Chain A
Amino acid sequence: MAIVSTRHTGSRRLDPVTFEVMHGQLQGIVEEMGELVMRCGHTVFVKETQDFVVALLTPDGEVAACSKRVGIWIAIGLGFDSVLAQGEPYRPGDVWFTNDPERSGGLVTHTPDTFSWRPIFHDGELVCFAAAFLHCTDVGGMAPGSVTPSASDQYQEGVIMPPTRLVRDGQVRDEILDIYLRNSRIPAKNRGDILAMLGTLDRAESRVRQLLDRVGAQTLRAAMNDVLDFAEDEARGIVSAMPDGDYTFWDYLEGDLIPGGRPVRIRLTMRIDGDGMVLDFTGTDPQVAAAYNIATYGRDGHYLLVLGVVNYLRTKKPDIAYNSGMIRNVEVRVPRGTVINPRPGAAFGARQATFFRVADIVLGALALADPDAVPAVGCGQGSIMLASAPDLETGTRVMSIAQPLVGGSGARHGVDGTEGVDFTTGFYRNIPAEVLETEIPVLVERYGLRPDSGGAGATRGGVGLRYSLRFTTPQTYVTARGLERFTFQPWGRAGGLPAATGSCRVEHDGTMTDVGKIDVLEVGAGDVIHFETAGGGGIGDPRRRDPRLVLRDVTDGLVSVEAARDVYGVVTADWRLDEAATAALRDEHRVDAGSPPPFAFGRHREQFERRWTDDWQLAVNAAVEPVPHVVRGYVRDRLMDDRDALPADSDDWSRPRIDDWLGTRVSRLLDTMRSYSQVPR
Chain B
Amino acid sequence: MAPALAAAASRDPRWRLGVDVGGTFTDVALVDERNGRTVVHKTPTRHDDLVGTVVQGVREILVQHHVAASDVAYLAAGSTIALNTIIERSGCRTGLLVTRGFRDVLEIRRNRLPDAPNFDAARPIPLVPRSRVAEVEERIHVSGRVVRPLDEAAARTAVAALVEDGVEAIAVCLLHSYTNPRHEQRIRDLLAEGWPDVLVCVSSDIWPQQREFERALLAVMNAYIGPRMVTYYGSLEQAMRDTGLHCPLLMTQSNGGMLSIEEAARTPVRTVLSGPAVGVTGAARVAGDAGHARVFTLDMGGTSADMAVVDGQPRLGTENLVGQYPYFMPAIEIDTIGAGGGSIAYWDAHGALKVGPRSAGSVPGPACYDRGGVEPTVTDAYLLTGIIGETDLLGGAMRLSRERANEAVAGLAGRLGVAPVEAAEGIIRVATANMHAGLLPLIAKHGADYTRFCLMAYGGAGPTHAFMLAADVGIRSVLVPATPGGMCGVGGALTDQQMDFVVSGRWDLDDHEAIDDAFASLEARAGKWLAAQGIPTAAARHHRTADMRYQGQSFELTVSVDDLHEQQASEFHRRYAEVYGYSDEDSPLEVLQLRLLTGVPRGVVPRPTRTRTERSATPRETRRVSYGGTAIEVPVYDRGRLPLDARMHGPAVLLQYDTTTFVTPDFEFWENGDTGNLEGVWRS
Contact = CB atoms under 8 A, between A and B. Distances in A.
Contact of B350 (A40, A202, A230): A230
Nearest to A193: B552
A444 B101 contact: yes
B437 interface: yes
Interface stretch (B68-76, B105-113, B228-236): B105-113
B210 A438 contact: yes
B115 A449 contact: no
Closest CB pairs A-B (n = 4): A426-B116, A9-B351, A28-B437, A426-B113
B8 interface: no
Given A16-B352, A433-B102, A47 B119 contact: no
Contacts of A41: 553-554
B581 A199 contact: yes
B563 interface: no
A38 B175 CA distance: 27
Interface string A526-551: 00000000000000000000000000
A8 B139 contact: no
Given A36-B580, A443-B139, A557-B130, A12 B121 contact: no
A437 B142 contact: yes
A207 B581 CA distance: 12
B604 interface: no
Contacts of A428: 111-112
Interface string B416-443: 1000000001100110111011111101
A234 B348 CA distance: 10
B436 A192 contact: no
A35 interface: yes
A19 B347 CA distance: 12
A318 B415 CA distance: 23
Given A17-B429, A27-B437, A311 B117 contact: yes
Given A38-B555, A419-B107, A423-B116, 14 more contacts: A6-B349, A16-B416, A20-B352, A28-B441, A36-B444, A192-B552, A192-B553, A230-B351, A319-B354, A418-B113, A432-B214, A433-B175, A448-B104, A468-B101
Interface in B633-682: none
A576 interface: no
A373 B118 CA distance: 11
Contacts of A406: 111
B10 to A, nearest CB: 46
A25 interface: yes
Contacts of A8: 350-351
A209 interface: no
A362 B349 CA distance: 27
B129 interface: yes
A485 interface: no
Interface string A181-207: 000000011001001101100110011
B25 interface: no
Residue of B117, B211, B425 most packed against chain A (CB within 10 A): B117
Given A21-B430, A311-B118, A449-B104, A430 B111 contact: yes
A434 B212 contact: yes
Contact of B102 (A21, A43, A199, A448): A448
A202 B583 CA distance: 13
Contact of A421 (B113, B141, B584): B113
A39 B580 contact: yes
A189 B437 contact: no
Contacts of A373: 119
A448 B135 CA distance: 12
A276 to B, nearest CB: 17
A157 interface: no
A12 B350 CA distance: 11
Nearest to A34: B441
Interface string B129-154: 11100000001011000010000000
Contacts of B117: 73, 310-311, 314-315, 423, 426
B123 interface: yes
A200 B352 CA distance: 30
Interface in B575-621: 580-582, 584, 587
A185 B21 CA distance: 57
Interface in B542-588: 550, 552-555, 580-582, 584, 587
Contacts of A446: 101-102
Interface residues of B, number: 73
A31 interface: yes
B123 A35 contact: no
B112 A426 contact: yes
Interface in A115-157: none
Interface in B461-493: 474
Nearest to A310: B117
Contacts, number: 243
13 contacts: A9-B350, A16-B353, A19-B353, A21-B429, A39-B445, A192-B553, A199-B582, A203-B581, A419-B107, A421-B108, A423-B118, A426-B121, A434-B175
Nearest to A445: B101
B143 to A, nearest CB: 9
A20 B118 contact: no
B553 A40 contact: yes
Residue of B105, B121, B587 most packed against chain A (CB within 10 A): B121
Nearest to B215: A434
A443 B139 CA distance: 9
B350 A421 contact: no
B108 A202 contact: no
Contact of A418 (B121, B439, B587): B121
A16 B554 contact: no
A437 B147 CA distance: 13
A28 B120 contact: no
Given A32-B440, A449-B108, A438 B142 contact: yes
B352 A429 contact: no
A611 interface: no
A32 B444 contact: yes
B353 A20 contact: yes
B426 A47 contact: no
B122 interface: yes
A423 B113 contact: yes
B103 interface: yes
A420 B438 CA distance: 32
B112 A420 contact: no
Contacts of B512: none
Contacts of A21: 429-430, 432-433
Contacts of B436: 24-25, 28
A369 B121 CA distance: 21
A84 to B, nearest CB: 25
A593 interface: no
Interface in A416-457: 418-430, 432-435, 437-438, 443-449
A605 to B, nearest CB: 23
A55 interface: no
A434 B142 contact: yes
A412 B119 contact: yes
A557 B444 CA distance: 44
A69 B429 CA distance: 24
A334 to B, nearest CB: 23
A234 B351 CA distance: 10
A420 B426 CA distance: 45
Contacts of B183: none
B529 interface: no
Contact of A434 (B108, B120, B176): B176
Contacts of B439: 28
A31 B552 CA distance: 23
Nearest to B178: A434
B550 A192 contact: yes
B128 to A, nearest CB: 11
A465 interface: yes
Contact of B116 (A73, A234, A444): A73
B506 interface: yes
A348 B351 CA distance: 42
Contacts of A425: 116
Residue of B118, B214, B445 most packed against chain A (CB within 10 A): B118
